[in-house]
Structure 1
Amino acid sequence: MVALDEGLRVSMINSAAEGLFEVSRRMALGVPLAEAVPHFAPHELRLKRSLDGSTGFIERETKLSRAGGNSVTVDLTVTPFVVGKRPGLLMEMLPVERHLRISRDELLQSQFGASRELIRGLAHEIKNPLGGIRGAAQLLEREFPDSQHREYTRVIIREADRLQNLVNRMLGPNRAPLKALLNIHEVLEHVRRLVQAEASPEVAVLRDYDPSIPEISVDREQIIQAVLNVLRNALQAVGTQGTITLRTRTRRQLTISGVRHKLAVQIDIEDSGPGVPPDMAEKIFYPMVTTRADGTGLGLPLSQYLVHSHGGIIEYRSRPGCTVFSIYLPIEVS
């Protein structure tokens, strides 16, 4: 992290940034950014516009380099702030190893596409035999109406219906989103009340909303389902005691799946649970993948599908004691 004052001079630099750019805090403080951290010299004009217009931005996989030094690739978030009456910028940089993995959006897109093809193939192979099994059980029930045989046929019909419902949930909704303008906080409050009713008294569901977020065009029921699935996962992660935080922020100039959006809403669902196991990190959005004995592994894939259908994406970061799932949804600016 690097903070800049109204003259684009370094007012704060943390140890991680010192190590990343091989600079000294003592030598950088009070010095113009382009001199203190030469990697940012080509970006000085963009930062000046951001400061003058009080508009932040996010750049994915930004390559920063300096003459005679190594280049670094980072996800860069620039946020304006005001202290007293003096404006400034806060720059947050997350290093990205370009040569070790494809971009996060492309990775999630490939996971999503593979999952959908797998689900469709499975559904086709399962649904027709299920219908035949259920029909045969109904015929047997009519043929042998006595209570002893009815008990067996009822079990067959009930289990066939359960599997049919499971397949339908895997496929997700079979309609396009019916979008309408709404306040995203009304949706979040509805979901929060549902989950709070299910939660232990020792689980706190906190709110940190940005009231300036404009109305967003989404399918209310589909977004409720997407958020509810993620929030219930957070509730299961904390168990009977812990904290869950719902947070909203706006993001400017955000690129999602290769499309740049002037404005987007970021919905964070943060929990204090044990975190995502390392062996699950790369496949958490795959269907039928779960860490719970009674789980179906369909909640996150379905949420990702619903958010994708709105032009958005779900990402996450996790460590023991803090897991954050972030839902990004474009805001249509007229």
Structure 2
Amino acid sequence: MSGLRPASAGRGESGRYEAFDHLATMVAVLRAADGCCLFVNAAFEAALGLPRRALLRRGRLFDWFVDASALVTNYQAVVANQYSTVRLEALLRRPTAPHAEPLPVHVIVTQVDHGETILLELVEIEQQARQDRETRTLDQVRVTKELIRNLAHEIKNPLGGIRGAAQLLEMDLADATLTEYTQVIIHEADRLQALVDRLLAPHRRPHMVADVNIHEVLERVRSLVLAEFSRGLTIVRDYDASLPEFRGDREQLIQAVLNITHNAALALAERRQAGDARIVLRTRAARQVTIGRQRYRLALELHIEDNGPGVPPEIRDRIFFPLVSGREGGSGLGLTLAQDFIQQHQGLIECESEPGRTLFKIQIPLP
């Protein structure tokens, strides 16, 4: 970034660096001579919960850190041209929540404008870890999806032959009691055929795109789940009514949310018997969101949260894989299909779980 130039002459400092507002990471521009803060981007405002003017009035950015000694030392080394860039970790204060834990960040200090100014880029350590998890999840899902498609097609062809052979054998059997065994073959072939069809279903059905109101989707899911689990379960609405409509496949979204919510209701069996089972459907707008290595200005954030026992630790990292289920008799396809449907909307599903709280977070880009 050493070749950074003003975006437009005569706009002042904020106009010069306005491109930084499109970045997901926190960015601040300091005057090299005295460390005075000239600019902070939108991500910085969002992280600290203060408007830009208030942040700039606070003066030296070093005062925003719990212990800035290491940062100051490295900053001075960059100003003195001993290094062009340095990296270190620090703790950022939260001015709007003084009693909250400081925010752990990875700080990158870089010279710009031929040494006249210094660029500080701050990456939340948790954000970086989340992005790494998201990247791994997307890669795993892509590989798994391709494997499933290929495997399903390979299974499908011999299944038809096995079923047909069993039917021909049944017609030629002299002993009618032996048809019990051919029926077992036919029924199992049909069961496997149905499983293969479910694996291939997302790739067969055309994407029916129209304007979608996410709250209409949630209300449909809520009514379906409460119709099945009418006693002992409360589904709480926590909606952001200002969310805009977006282009999507309504039926796919209903199915994706229903799969997750229905799983939650099943996992709440003991809570339902006790009468305190609870699922929360929450919608919010998220700004400057990265999904699948792509940056979006605005995204829908949908939370499906329950107070159940949590996802078993041994499958927590694999719950979106096909045929992985934490429930007796489960097919292990519900979450796989949900992830697939959401990805067809350029979105992603993530899960956080511990005993007493499981949260599925769906993010979908908004216009």
TM-score by length of 1: 0.71
The correspondence for 1:139, drawn from 168, 180, 195, is 168
Letter aligned with residue 252 of structure 1: R
The correspondence for 1:321, drawn from 356, 359, 365, is 356
Alignment of 1:270-309 (within 5 A): 270-309=305-344
CA distance in 2, matches of 1:67, 1:321: 41
User: What's the counterpart of residue 139 of structure 2?
Assistant: 110
CA drift of 1:213 comes to: 1.0
SS at 1:292's partner residue?
A: coil
CA distance in 2, matches of 1:254, 1:283: 24
SS at 1:317's partner residue?
A: strand
Letter aligned with residue 222 of structure 2: R
CA distance in 1, matches of 2:91, 2:165: 61
The correspondence for 2:216, drawn from 186, 202, 208, is 186
CA distance in 2, matches of 1:237, 1:215: 31
CA drift of 1:112 comes to: 0.2
SS at 1:273's partner residue?
A: coil
C-alpha change, 1:101 and 1:323, in structure 2 (3 Å) is: closer
The correspondence for 1:161, drawn from 178, 190, 205, is 190
Equivalent residue pairs, number = 272
- 272-281 or 180-189, which deviates more: 272-281
C-alpha change, 1:128 and 1:68, in structure 2 (3 Å) is: same
C-alpha change, 1:110 and 1:45, in structure 2 (3 Å) is: closer
User: What's the counterpart of residue 19 of structure 1?
Assistant: none
CA distance in 1, matches of 2:39, 2:320: 35
CA drift of 1:92 comes to: 9.6
SS at 1:275's partner residue?
A: coil
Alignment of 1:72-151 (within 5 A): 96=125, 103-144=132-173, 148-151=177-180
CA distance in 2, matches of 1:273, 1:52: 39
C-alpha change, 1:161 and 1:48, in structure 2 (3 Å) is: closer
Alignment of 1:115-264 (within 5 A): 115-144=144-173, 148-173=177-202, 174-199=204-229, 201-240=231-270, 241=272, 242-264=277-299
TM-score by length of 2: 0.65
Letter aligned with residue 326 of structure 2: T
CA distance in 1, matches of 2:174, 2:299: 60
Letter aligned with residue 70 of structure 2: G
CA distance in 2, matches of 1:125, 1:279: 30
After superposition, the C-alpha distances for 1:179-218 in whole angstroms (9 at most, x for unaligned) are 1002111111111111112215011111111111111211
Letter aligned with residue 116 of structure 1: K
Letter aligned with residue 243 of structure 1: R
C-alpha change, 1:72 and 1:219, in structure 2 (3 Å) is: farther
Letter aligned with residue 131 of structure 1: G
Say whether the 8 Å CA contact 1:288–1:298 is kept in structure 2: yes
User: What's the counterpart of residue 68 of structure 1?
Assistant: 70
Letter aligned with residue 251 of structure 2: E
CA drift of 1:67 comes to: 5.3
Say whether the 8 Å CA contact 1:237–1:271 is kept in structure 2: no
C-alpha change, 1:135 and 1:232, in structure 2 (3 Å) is: same
C-alpha change, 1:129 and 1:92, in structure 2 (3 Å) is: farther
SS at 2:317's partner residue?
A: coil
SS at 1:178's partner residue?
A: coil
Letter aligned with residue 218 of structure 2: L
C-alpha change, 1:93 and 1:245, in structure 2 (3 Å) is: farther
CA drift of 1:157 comes to: 2.2
SS at 1:68's partner residue?
A: helix
C-alpha change, 1:198 and 1:146, in structure 2 (3 Å) is: farther
CA drift of 1:125 comes to: 2.8
C-alpha change, 1:92 and 1:198, in structure 2 (3 Å) is: farther
Letter aligned with residue 246 of structure 2: I
After superposition, the C-alpha distances for 1:216-274 in whole angstroms (9 at most, x for unaligned) are 21111111111111111111221142111111111111110111112111111100011
Letter aligned with residue 165 of structure 2: A
User: What's the counterpart of residue 86 of structure 1?
Assistant: none
Say whether the 8 Å CA contact 1:73–1:96 is kept in structure 2: no
SS at 2:70's partner residue?
A: coil
C-alpha change, 1:42 and 1:321, in structure 2 (3 Å) is: farther
